[in-house]
A = this chain, B = another copy of it.
Amino acid sequence: MTATERQKRIEEYLQKAEFASLEELSAHVQASISTVRRDLTSLESFGNLKRTHGGARVVTPHTDEFAFSARDTHQLEEKEAIGRAAAALVQPNESVIIDAGTTAYHVALHLLNKAQMVVTNSLPVANLFGSASKMEVVVSAGVIYPRLGVLVGPLAVETFSKIHADVAIMSAGGIALDGVTNSHALLIDIQRQMLRGARKIILCLDHTKFGRKSTMHLCGLDDVDIIVTDSQAPETMVAALRERGNEVVLAEKHGP
């Protein structure tokens, strides 16, 4: 790995995690702490990040600062893996609906320049694709739900009622054997329209969502074509899902 490449990966990692310790970064890029230190000082002078005691944090300008937790360093590796696995299920030049939510965001990261068209109601996702000029990105109308940067409300529902796509990348608050649930009431109507508008439904959930039930029922398991989760998902539930006919993909984390 070249020095430039390493620095870019440090930047990327920080973009996702907001903060990272030297040890964490050192492990992630397979270089010594010293080297990471030097990289950080170098990157800092370009203004993209700020060094702190023990690590570094992103210096977010004024734009993309939705409090939404693509920056959740906690399940980062899992979501990263799920993102990669789910993106692999999308054929080049397919059109993709991307749900709001952190897991779907990670899928979006891996879809850059792969899908032909993307439809989303998530501002972070829109920002992500907005600069990658190769793809056609459709954003739904709607009112911004503040902290998450999601477009909600009747206008959003209406947009999705008019749009069809090959694949929908969905996330949710919980999955159990009697169906998929979500906690944000405002999102349910929109997600139902997404489900209606897509030919193939890919549901992305990290293992913590298994067996959980959120407040609102979103859809049944028959409405979902493929479930992508990480390898820590409870085996019994995975088995049960497969038993009843759902395709379940277990995403393997892989090191750099």
A interface, CB within 8 angstroms of B: 1-5, 8, 18-19, 21, 52-55, 57, 61-67, 69-70, 123-124, 126-133, 136-144, 146-147, 149, 151, 155, 159, 162
Known: A64-B131, A143-B137. A8 touches B19 (CB 8 A): yes
Give the CA-CA distance A149 to B128 in the complex, in Å. Answer: 11
Question: Which residues does chain B contribute within 8 Å of A5, judged by CB atoms?
Answer: 18-19, 52, 55, 57
Besides A61-B70, A137-B143, 6 more A-B contacts (Cβ < 8 Å) are A2-B21, A63-B65, A63-B69, A63-B127, A67-B131, A138-B143
Question: Which residues does chain B contribute within 8 Å of A57, judged by CB atoms?
Answer: 2, 4-5, 8
Q: Which residue of B lies closest to A21 (CB)?
A: B2
Known: A19-B2, A52-B2. A64 touches B141 (CB 8 A): no
Give the CA-CA distance A2 to B18 in the complex, in Å. Answer: 11
Q: Is there contact, CB below 8 Å, between B2 and A53? A: yes
> Contacting A155 at CB < 8 Å: which of B124, B132, B159?
B159
Q: Is there contact, CB below 8 Å, between B63 and A131? A: yes
Give the CA-CA distance A55 to B136 in the complex, in Å. Answer: 32
Known: A2-B53, A70-B61. A130 touches B144 (CB 8 A): yes
Give the CA-CA distance A129 to B147 in the complex, in Å. Answer: 11
Shortest CB-to-CB span from A6 to chain B, Å, is 9
Majority-rule SS of A interface residues: mixed
Q: Is there contact, CB below 8 Å, between A146 and B123? A: no
Q: Is there contact, CB below 8 Å, between B53 and A3? A: yes
Known: A70-B62, A123-B126, A131-B64. A144 touches B155 (CB 8 A): no
Please list 27 pairs of residues, one from A and one from B, whose beta carbons are closer than 8 Å in the complex, sorted by A's number: A1-B21, A2-B19, A2-B55, A4-B55, A5-B19, A8-B19, A61-B70, A62-B127, A62-B128, A63-B124, A63-B127, A63-B131, A64-B127, A66-B130, A123-B123, A132-B146, A133-B147, A136-B143, A137-B144, A139-B141, A139-B142, A139-B143, A139-B144, A140-B141, A141-B141, A155-B159, A155-B162
Shortest CB-to-CB span from A133 to chain B, Å, is 4
Q: Is there contact, CB below 8 Å, between A65 and B131? A: yes
